[in-house]
Structure 1
Amino acid sequence: MGHYDLNRMGWQQFEHMLQALAKAELGNGVRPFGSGKDGQRDATFEGRVTFPVGSASSWNGYGVIQVKHHEKPTTATADWKWFIEEVRGEIRGWLGKKRLGKKTPKYLLFATNVALSGTEGSGGKDQFELLMSNSAAELGLDGWFVWDYAEIRTMLDKHTSIRQRYLELIVTGDFLVQLESLLPKRTALEADRLAGHAVAELITRQWVRTGDAGYSDTSKVRLADIAIDLPCVWRAGPANEAEGRRMAARVTLAIGNRALSSSGGSGPQGVVLIGGPGQGKSTIAQVIAHAYRVAFLRDTDITRYGANAKHAFDGLRDRLTTAGIPAPKRRRWPIVVELAKAGTSVARDEGAFSLLKYIADSILVEGNPTDPSALLEWMSSWPACLILDGLDEVPDAKVRSRLIDAISSFVSELSAQRADVLVVATTRPQGYRGEFGDALPCEQLELLEFTEGEALSYSEALTAVRTSEDPDLAAQVTERLITAVHERVTQRLMTTPLQVTIMTALAEEAVDLPSDRFELFDRYYKVVYERELAKSEAFAELKTLRQHIDHLHEQAGIKLQARTEQPGKSDAVLTKTEIGRILRRRLTMAGFDETESETIADKLLRLSTERVVMLVSRRPAKYEFEVRSLQEYMAARALTDGDDATVLGGLKTLIPSSHWRNTWLLAAGRLLKRREHLTDEVIQIVTEYDTTTAETPLTALGAGLAGELYLDNLGAEFPAVRRALLTSAMAQFAETAPELPRSLADLMDLALSQAERESAIALESLHELSRKNLSNLATKYLSEHSSGMSPAAKQARTTLTEGRKYIKPGGQTTRARAQILARHLARVAATVPEALVLVERLNEEAASTSSSSGATASVALLQAMDQPAARAGLASTISSMAHSQPDAAHYGTVLLRQHASRSLRGQGYAG
């Protein structure tokens, strides 16, 4: 007979388990009740049931099952006395109902996690019998029974499927040594393999990716030393309104503490972590995975997996506690899927792509993949956490759509198996259109910038690790960073984990701290390069070839950035042969003869067997950047290397692409530093893009880029540049979106904190834009900021007293938006035949889409927009309905923007 812990599970899970056991014992006539007012009934039955087992007569009539879960048990005696008082209270309730003439049961069956002692006369069982016997006549009871801990334990041994469903909640001790007695043989064998996989992931994923080649493996930074929770805002509720500042891991783990199976809860649930470059979304997802690995393995004998496993486990467990990240109540088995790699598999597989099979194939234990059906059985027996990292690294719309379909199918498969699954996904905000919400219900957490205190706290943790043997240096680093976080020029460079990591490294070297993001990465690269030279005498001999190594990194960056944009290449790498080719071509162009080029290139290649400064080799003879932001930095260097016309033309081409956005921002930063004479032309490209280059200003692609450049602190030394960017960015407030995007809220916060001339631009722009449409974001912002004495409030009151009042768009579903847009576009199609296909696709979208309010377009709909005339007709339709149907007009604008960003923009750089 098994020993089960019935106290750890919450009352709701206990109630669900007892309802299932009641059905198994009494038959399908048992009718369970959900949460809420149940009239003293957790379940009922009517008619004849074979119960109690072994008694002379069976129950026949109306019966009620009442579940009593003691959440804080103390001593055996106190616990059964608590149960008796609970029963006494229920009896009083039934007596009251009987006096009022309400229906009362002939049979009462109680269930409790409390163990009722069998001491004759004074034990819990006899006291229950005495209480029920004394009340039976007055209540009109023909029978009663109690399932206490001992009875429930027997039933769990008997009903295997129910035991397996709640196994994680009730198993005690080292569950791995009990698997064969608790699970079917095949599932038990698979569970043992997957536990080993969790340990392997605990060890291999314990490092922080910094892209820093200047440290040896023995001094790399471990998550166990610096892991922290990250601030976020939780967009929750039907209006998708932002709640206050929260912590991402805490919120995610709290959601994961719920029952998420289709039988005992809401079904699989998703949490989407949205963060910009370097903001730590992949790292916090890994921290969440580690929290579940530690919880999953905490009752096992971790030493059986070796000293490295024990060291990693202890370090992560202690760090999670120090960081204030609570231990999960559910011991979910975690699995991480890197979506860039999955996207490559999707593109290569012309048939149906199975995420279940992909995951099973990726879990190698002793060189053997996992059986998909066995994996599904395991996930049906034990709760899981599925982490889907990096949707933004799958830019191709068709591949992305197929990947989301595969995720949706997998979630449906898990739900059908009544699996309890938490899905955690990560993405950058650029280009994200709520796709995960098409696959399953999702909560959205948007990562926030560090406060000054959070930035310093994180830097102190880093400094403690990297300068542990030099307290004087640690003090100097801390002092420099305290100064940096308070200075206006540098404080914007300490708002993300990656930025703080780099600033800490720069502070260690006592170099001048940068004033913009490009200089931040540029100085970091130089510091890392110097460390690489210092640690290798052989490499130091080739100092004179430094420009060629720089060129290698730049070409690697631009080629990988371009390739990862292409379908099926979202996890692109450079082969050793390609690196050799880049080096030989460069050396030949520099004037080395063929023999010299071959010799030097071969020597550099030999030195780079493991890594070349920022390039790492995770697979034999294949190279990539460990940190995506560093790849984008190198791509920015390559993008800005050429004659002026070529550079400016390349920048203009890339404006619509969300995939190239961070590269664009870094490239602009470099041009303002290295080619100041191009400043006016770069700003002109951005500020005039919507009116001179874009098909329609409705997409506001240039305005969006201007806003990001403004927030990126571009041109801090040039007030005219700042004002031009802000003026252009404010055009985004003309949109009729139902909610203010976080980027625009941040834009206003920054603009209003600047000098009067700059803040006046923002306020006057809002005032003028609000004249054009009472449902646009300008009017919304002014309406929501009309109280107080701030400049925004004063401007708002001036605007609103002119008779303008915000009229919120109707909050229509995607189905309704598509229908309305199709109806209006059909009128244009009479003169623009190319728009007819688009009308058909919009109607199909309306018929097939869910009732959600998301705006993710199907591939077929986007393909219907490939005809320029169709897009022109759509733009004309949107303009004509902006006042009468602002919600549908905004949906159409989003479609135009999605289509504009869909084309591959960097093919010429792929090489």
Structure 2
Amino acid sequence: MGDYDLSRMGWQQFEHMLQALAKAELGNGVRPFGAGRDGQRDATFNGAVNFPRGSGPKWNGYGVIQMKYKHKVASTTEGWHWFLEEARKEVRGWLAKKRVGDRTPKYLLFATNVVLSGTKSTGGRDQFDRYMESAATELELDGWYVWDYDEIRTMLDQHTAIRQRYFELIVTGDFLLKLDEFFSAATALEIEHLVGHAVSELVNRQWVRTGDSGYKDSSKVRLADIAIDLPCDVEWAEGDPTDRDRTMTAESVIRMGDDNLSNGMGGGAKAAVVVGGPGQGKSTISQVIAHGYRVAFLADTDVSRHGATAVRAYEDLAARLKDAGIPTPERRRWPFVVELAKAGTSIATTNAPFSLLSYIAESIIVAGRSAEPAALLEWMRSWPVCLVLDGLDEIPNARDRTRLMDAVRTLVSDLNAAGVDLFVVATTRPQGYRGEFREAIPCTQLDLLDFTEEEALNYSDALTRLRSADDPDLAQQVSERLIEAVHARVTQRLMTTPLQVTIMTALAEEAVDLPSDRFELFDRYYRVIYDREVAKSEAFAELKSLRPHVDHLHEQAGLKLQARSEKAGNSDAALTKNEIARILRRRLNRTAGYDEGESDSLADTLMKLSTERLVMLVSRRAPKYQFEVRSLQEYMAARALTEGDEQTVLDNLLALVPSSHWRNTWLLAAGRVLKRQEHLIDKLIDLVATYDSKRADTPLALIGAGLAGDLYVDNLAIEFPGIRRRLLESAVTQFADTTLSVPRSLSELLSIALRQPTKEVTIVLEALHELSRENSSSLATLVLSENKSGMSDLAKQSRTTLTEGRTYVKPALRSGQSSIDALATELGQVVEQVPEGILLLEEIRSADPRMLGESQLVVSVDLWTVLEREPARRALAKAVGRAVKKDPAAAALGRLLLRHYASRVPQGQRFLA
């Protein structure tokens, strides 16, 4: 007989398991009840059932099954005494119902996870039978019984499918030693294979990516040394971002995953979507969450069978997670991380439907072979799963992204149908994210927040203690510099993310001047890394003399990788060693003037200096090179974009204005222009401020205004108030939009601007006043109506504006279908004989209403193909213009489509020549 632990599964899972066992034992006539008020019934039957077993008479009539679950049982005696009192309560309840004429059962079947001792006369089972005999006459019972722990254990032995279904909840001790009790030999072998993969992931994914050899020693930074939880806001709400409740990301996500999410029990799969900007740590926190599940998953196994390295990784990570206040998951989910950039590359290799389950199975390689999809599915049905989908933003290509979301949607549907307990953790940048995950799976969104001063200093102190453990004087100096930096107006905004704090800590160690903006932050970091590479040994001396050429290599590598990753099938772009050598040879030969033999020799020398790294370029997949941290790739691309003559720089940046893929690169490039080419900054700001007015299909999409807002929030030109005001004047035109709630980006813009000098406050208030006058359904009127209380400048302006008789008219709440119909109606008035417009009208009319909405926007491949035609976009812009006041909700949908298209069009192919 198997030994099962029924004390940690919780009452809800116990109830579901017993309902399944009751059906298996009594027949399909058993009717289970869900959680909630059940009128003293967890399940019922009515008619003949195959019970009791044996040759005696069977039950035939109305019966009730009642489950009694006790979480902790101190002793057998304490357990059956508790159960007997629970049974008495139930009987008293039925007697009360009988007295008032309610229907009562002919048969009562109890089920409990406690042991009813078999001691004659004084044991739990005899005590129960004696009590039921005394109550049976008054209640008019024809039969009663109780399944206690021992009988449930016997039933689990007999019903393999149910035993497998609840494997994770009932297995005791090292589950690897019990596989043969639950599964066939072949399946048990596959499960061992999957467990081995979890251990290898624990070891292989234990490092923090810092993008460089980093500090004075060459050791890597382990998550076990530095892992922390990150602040976030769950399901971000309207209002001032500074007033939001802060919670912790990993803690919140793990608590969400503690629920049973199998279809029919917990309602089906759910997801937590972690949204964070560049360097905010979304990939790292997803790895921390995955490690939390790995530690819980392996808790009762003998990790030492996988070697000393695995034991150290397991023990150190477990200790660090505990110290960081990250809870141990109650549900020991098997975690698997999908790097979506790599998945996006695989998607483009075939036109056939992409199976995410097959992709995951093929990625689980242990002992030279991959897993079988069928075995993986059987495992998932027996053990809860946490699927981490990391980096949706790293698939900028619209078609690849649509196909990926189709694959996610199919996987969730298939796993729900199979009864899998699936919890998804997804990450993305906010730029270009249109809520795509919401259509595939019910989601809770967690927006990462900036570090507070205390959080920034705590993280930097942990880094400093780790890196300067042998030099307490240096550690003290670094700490003092960072305390000063976090309180200084110019530098405090550069210590708000984990990556920024990591870089500032490295710079403080070197006693270099601390930067004042994001571009300088990365620029000085690069210089520090380069100097450390040069100082490693005499063999690296040529790095010093060839620095301009190595700089050029990094710039071109950043630009080409950023552009290449935008193309279909290249989301995980890398450069081969030959491509890097080619860039170096071209530079040395054409620009520096070396003859062909010399340039070949120098390029070969540089490439031989390191087989794993060339300053910021690392070879994680030999012989290919990438930037370890995406923000560093974007920094180098920004340098490349701003090289060349004035017109080339402006043309480069003009082409990239609408792209969400290039947005962080654009912000860094603007910072470099201000620092290195100040004479160009006025033209650059003009380019942004006039962008919307110079294009037929973009004025209503407010693309230039959105970029101006991002530049303002990014603190560009903080020492140039005139530039700041010009950016703000352009940015506030976004409040002309007619969406149902104020987007986070605009709330942040508003919050920052209203804390600035009077001139900037005036710009905001006047814009809100005028835009409200133009359209009572605009975001401007919404902001005013929500902020009319109090004595702030905004409140005073709100009351002044609204007393003019203006009130906010909320756009009509519509279903997705009615918004589509309304937009189609307006579009039908303007397409006339334009073939492209007619095609667009047909695609919008046939669109899935679940895909097109304010909270989520998933554009089909067919709709995208039509939007690629400029006449179609012009027609859509006209339709939006007609709908702005007549039907603001339809206008909002049209704007979203225009923005979505503009933000996803590949713009970097010009840089791949």
Q: TM-score range by the shorter chain?
A: over 0.9
1:814, 1:855 within 8 Å by CA — same for their partners in 2?
no
1:586 aligns with 2:587: yes
Which segment is superposed worse, 760-769 or 655-664? 760-769
1:784-833 C-alpha deviation (Å, 9 max, x unpaired): 22222221211112222222222222332322211111122112233545
**Range with bigger deviation, 623-632 or 430-439:** 430-439
Map of 2:706 onto structure 1 = 704
Note the C-alpha offset of 1:891: 0.5
Matched AA of 2:188 = A
Question: Counterparts of 2:237 and 2:150 in 1: how far apart (Å)?
Answer: 43
How far 1:902 sits from its partner (Å)?
Answer: 2.9
8 Å Cα contact 1:229/1:249 also seen in 2: yes
Q: Letter of the 1:66 partner, please give it.
A: Q
Match of 2:866 among 846, 853, 864: 864
CA displacement, residues 500-536 of structure 1 (integer Å, 9 cap, x when unaligned) = 1111111111111111000000001011111111113
Q: Which residue of 1 aligns with 2:259?
A: 258
Q: Distance in 1 between matches of 2:44 and 2:673?
A: 74
Residue pair 1:451, 1:495 contacting (<8 A) in 2 also: yes
Stretch moving more, 879-888 or 493-502: 879-888
Q: Which amino acid aligns with 2:132?
A: M
Change (3 A) 1:794 1:851: closer
**Which residue of 1 is the match for residue 498 of structure 2?**
497
What residue number does 1:230 align with?
230
**What secondary structure sits across from 1:61 in the alignment?**
strand
Q: CA deviation at 1:294?
A: 0.3
Q: What residue identity is the alignment partner of 1:528?
A: I
Q: Is the 8 A contact 2:362 2:371 kept in 1?
A: yes
* Residue 852 to residue 866, structure 1, CA distance change in 2 (3 Å): closer
Q: Give the aligned CA root-mean-square deviation in angstroms.
A: 1.8
Q: Distance in 2 between matches of 1:853 and 1:95?
A: 52
Contact kept in structure 2, 1:235 and 1:243, CA below 8 Å: no
Query: In terms of mean alpha carbon deviation, does 543-552 or 230-239 score higher?
Result: 230-239
Corresponding position: 1:176 with 2:176: yes
Q: Does the CA-based 8 Å contact 1:818-1:846 persist in structure 2? A: no
- The 2-side partners of 1:143 and 1:217 are apart by 77
Hey, what's the Cα distance between the residues in 1 that align with 2:461 and 2:75? 46
1:813 and 1:250, CA in 2 relative to 1: closer, same or farther beyond 3 A? farther
Query: 1:867 & 1:197 partners in 2: Cα distance?
Result: 47
In structure 2, C-alpha distance between the alignment counterparts of 1:238 and 1:48, rounded to whole Å: 58
- Residues 206-217 of structure 1: matches in 2 within 5 Å? 206-215=206-215
Aligned CA distance change for structure 1 residues 813 and 237 (closer, same or farther; 3 Å): farther
What is the Cα deviation at residue 18 of structure 1? 0.8
Deviation at 1:215, TM superposition (A): 4.8
1:566-585 equivalences in 2 (<5 Å): 566-585=567-586
**1:681 paired to 2:716:** no
Q: 1:518 is matched with which residue?
A: 519
Shift of 1:846: 4.3
Q: Quick check: 1:449–1:495 contact (8 Å CA) kept in 2?
A: yes
Partner of 1:82: 82
CA deviation map 1:708-752 (0-9, x unaligned) = 111111001100011111111111111111121111111111111
Quote the residue 1:553 is aligned against. 554
On the 8 A contact 2:661/2:904 being kept in 1, the answer is: no
Deviations 1:80-120 (A, max 9, x none): 22211111111111111101100000111111111122222
Give the C-alpha shift of residue 754 in structure 1.
1.1
Structure 2 equivalent of residue 101 of structure 1? 101
Match status 1:458 vs 2:459: yes
Cα drift, residue 225 of structure 1: 0.9
Give the structure-1-normalised TM-score: 0.98
Task: Give the deviation of 1:14 after TM superposition.
Answer: 1.0
Distance 1:260 1:539 in 2: 55
What per-residue deviation string (whole Å, max 9, x for no partner) do you get for residues 658-707 of structure 1? Answer: 00000000000000000010110111111111112463311111111111
Q: Is the 8 A contact 1:234 1:243 kept in 2?
A: no
Question: Aligned with 1:828: secondary structure?
Answer: coil
Question: Which among 582, 587, 601 is matched to residue 599 of structure 1?
Answer: 601
Could you list the runs of 4 or more consecutive aligned residues of structure 1 that deviate by over 6 angstroms after TM superposition?
Answer: 236-239
Q: Which residue of the partner structure matches residue 51 of structure 1? A: 51
CA displacement 1:356-385 (0-9 Å, x = unmatched): 111111111111111111111111111111
861-870 or 838-847, larger mean C-alpha shift: 861-870
* Kept in 2: contact 1:61–1:106 (CA 8 A): yes
Specify the alignment match of 1:4 in structure 2: 4
Q: Aligned equivalents of 1:751 and 1:852: distance in 2?
A: 26
Deviation at 1:282? 0.5
Counterparts of residues 182-221 of structure 1 (less than 5 Å): 182-215=182-215, 219-221=219-221
Whether the aligned pair in 2 keeps the contact of 1:814 and 1:854 (CA below 8 Å) is no
Question: 2:532 corresponds to which residue?
Answer: 531
Deviation at 1:238, TM superposition (A): 14
Distance of 1:46 and 1:734 partners within structure 2: 64
Secondary structure at 1:47 match in 2? strand
Shift in Å, 1:850: 8.3
1:875 is aligned to 877
TM value normalised by structure 2: 0.97
The one-letter amino acid paired with 1:467 is S
Q: Distance in 1 between matches of 2:355 and 2:754?
A: 50
User: What residue number does 1:314 align with?
Assistant: 315
Superposed displacement of residue 121, structure 1: 2.1
Tell me how far 1:187 sits from its aligned partner. Answer: 2.0
Structure 1 residues 298-350: Cα deviation after superposition (integer angstroms, max 9, x where no partner): 10111111111011101110111111110000111111111111111111112
Provide the secondary structure at the position in 2 that maps to 1:336: strand
Between the aligned partners of 2:850 and 2:232, the Cα distance in structure 1 is 33
Match of 1:785 in 2: 787
Q: Which amino acid aligns with 2:801?
A: T
Instruction: Show the 5 A alignment for 1:24-63.
Output: 24-54=24-54, 56-63=56-63
Confirm or deny: 8 A CA contact 2:439 2:850 kept in the other structure. no
- Which stretches in structure 2 are left out of the alignment for 5+ residues? none
Instruction: Report the counterpart of residue 645 of structure 1 in structure 2.
Output: 647
- Would the aligned equivalents of 1:392 and 1:427 in 2 still touch at CA under 8 Å? yes
In structure 1, the partner of 2:760 is 758
3-state SS, counterpart of residue 279 of structure 2: coil
Kindly tell me the number of residue pairs found equivalent between the two proteins. Answer: 910
**Residue 388 of structure 2: aligned partner:** 387
SS at match of 1:618: strand
Offset, 1:75: 2.6
SS at match of 1:829: coil
Paired residue secondary structure (1:782): helix
- One-letter amino acid of the structure 2 residue matched with residue 342 of structure 1: A
Partners of 2:218 and 2:654 lie apart in 1 by: 45
Of all paired residues, the percent bearing the same amino acid is 63
**What amino acid does structure 2 have at the position aligned with 1:798?**
T
- Paired letter, 1:809: P
Contact 2:234–2:444, Cα closer than 8 Å, also in 1: yes
CA distance in 2, matches of 1:237, 1:513: 35
What CA distance in whole angstroms lies between the structure 2 residues aligned with 1:762 and 1:851? 29
Residue 279 (structure 2) aligns with: 278
What is the alpha-carbon distance in structure 1 between the residues aligned to residue 536 and residue 869 of structure 2?
57
Measure how far apart 1:883 and its partner are: 2.1
Quote the Cα distance in structure 1 between the aligned partners of 2:777 and 2:77.
66
SS at match of 2:829: helix
**2:775 aligned residue (773, 787, 804):** 773
Of stretches 829-838 and 53-62 in structure 1, the one that deviates more from structure 2 is 829-838
Is the 2:340–2:391 Cα contact (8 Å) retained in structure 1?
yes
Alignment match, 1:159: 159
Q: Is contact 2:618-2:625 (8 Å) kept?
A: yes
Q: Whole-Å Cα distance in 2 between the matches of residues 848 and 618 of structure 1?
A: 40
Task: Note closer, same or farther for the CA distance 1:370–1:181 as it changes in structure 2 (3 Å cut).
Answer: same
- Report deviation, 1:602: 0.6
Separation (CA, whole Å) in 2 of partners of 1:252 and 1:185: 35
TM-superposed CA distance for 1:216, in Å, is 8.5
For residues 133 and 494 of structure 1, the distance between their equivalents in structure 2, rounded to whole angstroms, comes to 73
8 Å CA contact retained: 1:813, 1:853 = no
Matching residue of 2:369: 368
Which range moved further: 571-580 or 691-700? 691-700
SS in 2 for 1:62: strand
Corresponding residue of 2:140? 140
Quote the Cα distance in structure 2 between the aligned partners of 1:339 and 1:98.
Answer: 61
Is 870-879 or 186-195 further displaced after alignment?
870-879
Tell me the equivalent position of 1:290: 291
Deviates most, 843-852 or 473-482:
843-852
